[in-house]
A and B are shown apart, each in its own frame.
Chain A
Amino acid sequence: EADIYQTPRYLVIGTGKKITLECSQTMGHDKMYWYQQDPGMELHLIHYSYGVNSTEKGDLSSESTVSRIRTEHFPLTLESARPSHTSQYLCASSGDRDETQYFGPGTRLLVL
């Protein structure tokens, strides 16, 4: 079982609210990722980070933002949630030994 955690696991929120999805890992991995996954669909990379103070946008355009102030912490923020943001958000990390990504349990977001 990977040591990567996400909170909250489930979130129901109204349109226009600001939300932050938390992701923490205790494996000392430099690389961390955020994916968005809709039911029956493939994972889409929305943000990634090589290390502290390094963040990049992924392949799928997203209105969310991320920060990497500490190695173990990679939060994702939506300034103004909309129903189109309803999805599952998965956080992952990987080390230098191989590229295997270890995933957190995900946050299921519902925006009303």
Chain B
Amino acid sequence: KNQVEQSPQSLIILEGKNCTLQCNYTVSPFSNLRWYKQDTGRGPVSLTIMTFSENTKSNGRYTATLDADTKQSSLHITASQLSDSASYICVVSDRGSTLGRLYFGRGTQLTVWP
């Protein structure tokens, strides 16, 4: 069964600190992996997309890593800000076609305190 598991379920950190969110998946065959940020009451917004051959990708203070062999990904947030408080969702695609079917994790709820 294709699944995406994220940990931790929730995380509280102080402003300015770094944190790392984890994503393990069993989706096969693998096409790509995305990290989305979902603010409360809003739709998800794409942060990064990684294909099989990519090990790391950065978007500002966000750095995603991918180990396709162990089927693990992480999202590292550097120097956290209050605006980083959101749910971070790992999404895996099992095909490169235009179908667009994706497997979603339940997200990690990050809270950044001042």
Chain B: which residue is nearest A50 at the CB level?
B98
A103 cross-chain contacts in B, Cβ below 8 A: 43-45
Partner of A100, one of B46, B106, B107: B46
Is the CB–CB distance between B43 and A31 below 8 Å? Answer: no
Is the CB–CB distance between B43 and A105 below 8 Å? Answer: yes
6 examples of A-B residue contacts, CB within 8 angstroms: A48-B101, A99-B100, A100-B34, A101-B46, A104-B43, A108-B41
Q: Is B68 an interface residue (CB 8 A)?
A: no
Q: Is B112 an interface residue (CB 8 A)?
A: no
Partner of A99, one of B43, B45, B98, B109: B98
Expressed in whole angstroms, the minimum distance between the Cβ of B51 and any Cβ of chain A is: 10
Expressed in whole angstroms, the minimum distance between the Cβ of A5 and any Cβ of chain B is: 11
Q: Is B32 an interface residue (CB 8 A)?
A: yes
Query: Measured between alpha carbons, how far is A33 from B101 in the docked complex, in Å?
Result: 10
Q: Is B102 an interface residue (CB 8 A)?
A: yes
Is the CB–CB distance between A42 and B42 below 8 Å? Answer: no
A2 cross-chain contacts in B, Cβ below 8 A: 45
User: Taking A103-B43, A103-B44 as contacts, is the C-beta distance between A42 and B93 under 8 angstroms?
Assistant: no
Expressed in whole angstroms, the minimum distance between the Cβ of B26 and any Cβ of chain A is: 14
B 29-53 contacts with A by CB, 8 A:
32, 34, 41-46, 49
Is the CB–CB distance between B43 and A100 below 8 Å? Answer: no
